[in-house]
Amino acid sequence: MIRPINNRFVLHAEQAHLVHLHQPDQRRGRKEWDTKVIEEFRDMTK
């Protein structure tokens, strides 16, 4: 279970990096994306 979760979390991190590059407002965009990723990560680790 741990390995797929880590792989998926890394994938989200890569997506967050791509989104960060295309965000006009970097702080706001990154903050909102990180919150979304954290919520999904919590759901996966329940």
Q: Give residue-wise pLDDT tens across range 24-34.
A: 555 555 556 66
| Maximum CA extent, the chain | 36
Under DSSP, the state recorded for 45 is T
How many whole angstroms separate alpha carbon 46 and alpha carbon 44?
A: 6
How many whole angstroms separate alpha carbon 4 and alpha carbon 19?
A: 22
**Domain range holding 39?**
2-44
How many whole angstroms separate alpha carbon 26 and alpha carbon 19?
A: 9
Q: Look at 9-13, 27-31, 37-41 and tell me which has the smallest mean pLDDT.
A: 27-31
**Which pLDDT band holds residue 37 (cuts at 50, 70, 90)?**
confident
How many whole angstroms separate alpha carbon 19 and alpha carbon 32?
A: 11
Count the domains in the chain: 1
Q: Give residue-wise pLDDT tens across range 14-24.
A: 666 665 555 55
